Amino acid sequence: MQLVLGSCVAELPADGAVERVTVVPCDDPHEAQVVGRTDASPDAVWPGDQDAGARARASCGPPLLGAQGRREADGLRFVVWAPSEASWEAGDRTSLCLASSDPAETGSLLR
């Protein structure tokens, strides 16, 4: 299953390559939610590890949240997942912005 805008993730994995995550209904406790998405052009050239998520990082933050989420923004951490060189070569051009909370929360941050 591919993560999409609004997907809620049960546990945020440690920093590094993300292989698998558990998607749960947002009404269940979860540590993170996909709140933004940035797509590079299908014919874009690999920008390098440093720049792969730079555009997504530039727009990843509280403005992506709904009204309720913005009220909770002080307790959130924003994380960007960007393609690796290998996944880029396989056609992955999507970077995701996730809002993470500790402890886990319920409900959608996009409302």
- Residues 8, 68 contacting (CB under 8 angstroms): no
**5: pLDDT strictly greater than 90:** yes
Q: What values do phi and psi take at 86, rounded to 5?
A: -65, -45
Nearest CA-CA partner of 36 in 96, 91, 100: 96
Q: How confident is the model at residue 16 (pLDDT cuts 50, 70, 90)?
A: low
Task: Give me the torsion for CA of 57, 36, 79, 31, rounded to 10°.
Answer: 170
Report the amino acid identity of residue 48: G
Per-residue model confidence as pLDDT tens digits over 42-85 = 999 999 988 988 888 999 999 999 998 888 888 899 999 999 99
Q: How confident is the model at residue 17 (pLDDT cuts 50, 70, 90)?
A: confident
Q: What values do phi and psi take at 83, rounded to 5?
A: -65, 150
Burial class, 59, CB count within 10 angstroms (exposed 0-12 / middle 13-18 / buried 19+): middle
